[in-house]
Amino acid sequence: MTEPLFFKAQSALTVGEIASLTGAVLPEGAPRDRRISSIAPLDRAGPRDLTFCDNAKYVGGLATSHAGACLIGRRFADNAPKELLTLVVRDPYRAFVTVARKLFPDALRPSSLFEQQGVASGASVHPAARLESGVTVDPGAAIGPRAEVGSGTVIGAGAVIGAGVRIGRDCAIGARCSITNALIGDRVIIHPGCCIGQDGFGFTMGPTGHQKVPQIGRVIIQDDVEIGAGTAIDRGAIRDTVIGEGSKIDNLVQIGHNVSIGRHCVIVAQVGISGSATLEDFVVLGARVGVNNHVRIGEGAQLAALAIASSDIPAGGRYGGFPAKPAKEWFREIKAIDRLARKGAGAGKPDDDDLGGEQGQP
C-alpha cells in the first residue's frame, strides 16, 4: 500500500516568484526560473523543496541539504555551500510560512471529511433552519430549528448545531462538535470535539446539597477566531462569554462562564480560565496556566507555562509561578531555592568520621 499525501501543492512557484513574495535577496546569477513545488525541513528537503534556516543549532545541516532553495538569515548565509541556492531574508521562518500558505492553501482551513459539497443525505437539517448557498454539511451532522449558517461554511460529520445558533460565512466546524447558545462570526475555525455553549459550572452550595444556578447567557465568538480540538467554552450565566476577534485557542482548553477574552489573544493547551475572568487584547497564556475567577489580565501581558493567576496582572506584565508574580522575581526565587537546596545537600554529606574511619569501614 502506498503512503498517501494528504496535502498537495496547489501550484508550483519559481524561485523568482518566491523572492518577490517574501522580499528575499537572491545571489547574482541565481536560476530564478527554478520551480519549487513543496516544503520540507533542512535535512529532508529535495531538489523541488523549499526549506529555511534561522537557528544556529541547524547551521551544520546546510552543508548536506539537497533543497532546491533555502530561506536564510544574513548572519548564516556565509555558512551555506555554493551549491545550495539561498534566499537571504530578515525573518526566514516568517517568509517560509508565507510561501507555505501560497503553496498549500487547503491546509489553512479544514474541509469536508466526506469530500463533498452541499448537504449530505445522512445529515439532519431542521426545516426551520436557514442555510445560505454554498454550505457543506457532512453525514451525521444535525442542525436544529432556527439555526443559521453562512455561505462557504463546512459542518463536519456528527456535529450538532443547536436551535437558534448563528454561524457566519467561511467557517469550519469540526466533526463531533457540539454548539449551542452561541453566535459565531466569519472565518472561524472550530476543530473536532469542541463543546461550546453548554451550562457554566454554577451552584449555590449548602448543607443539604448544591442548587443549580440558571445559566441564561450566550457564547459570542468574533471573526477569525480559531479553537483547537477538545476545547470547552461555557455559556454565560448573567452575561455573555466572549472570545475576541482573531484570538487563537489551542487544544483542551477550558473557558468558564462569563469569561471575556480580548482580541488576538493566544491561549495554549490545557489552560483553565475560571468564571468571570477578563483577558484584555493580545494576552498570551502558556500551557496549563490557571486563571482564577474574576481576575483581570491586562493588555499584552504574558504568563509562563504552569503559572496560576490568582490576582490581577497589569498590562504588559511578564509573570510566572504559583501564585503568579513578575518573571524576574520568580526567577530570583527559583535560584534562591536552588542555592538553598545545594547548600543543604552539601551540609548533609557524611565525612570520613561518619563512615567509621579513613577507609569508611565500621
Q: In the listed set 108, 127, 159, which residue is the last one of a domain according to the structure?
A: 108
Q: 192 and 321, same structural domain? A: yes
Position 1 in a domain: no
Q: Give me the phi and psi of 354, to 5 degrees please.
A: -65, -25
Taking the C-alpha atoms of residue 36 and residue 33, their distance in angstroms, rounded to an integer, is: 9
Q: In the listed set 61, 76, 108, which residue is the last one of a domain according to the structure?
A: 108
Domain, as residue range, for 104: 13-108
CB atoms within 10 A of CB 316: 11
Q: 183 and 104, same structural domain? A: no
Give the pLDDT of residue 358: 45
In which element (H, E) is residue 302 found? strand 302-303
Burial-class residue 335 by CB neighbours within 10 Å (0-12, 13-18, 19+): exposed
**Percentage of residues of the chain with pLDDT beyond 70:** 95
Position 182 in a domain: yes
Position 183 in a domain: yes
Q: pTM for the whole thing?
A: 0.90
Q: 201 and 95, same structural domain? A: no
Number of domains forming the structure of the chain = 2
Query: What are 139-189's pLDDT values in tens digits?
Result: 999 999 999 999 999 999 999 999 999 999 999 999 999 999 999 999 999
pLDDT per residue, tens digit, the chain (362 aa), is 677 789 989 899 999 999 999 999 999 999 999 999 999 999 999 999 999 999 999 999 999 999 999 999 999 999 999 999 999 999 999 999 999 999 999 999 999 999 989 999 999 999 999 999 999 999 999 999 999 999 999 999 999 999 999 999 999 999 999 999 999 999 999 999 999 999 999 999 999 999 999 999 999 999 999 999 999 999 999 999 999 999 999 999 999 999 999 999 999 999 999 999 999 999 999 999 999 999 999 999 999 999 999 999 999 999 999 999 999 999 999 999 999 998 877 765 555 444 444 444 43
CATH number where 87 lies: 3.40.1390.10
Give me the active site residues, please. 257
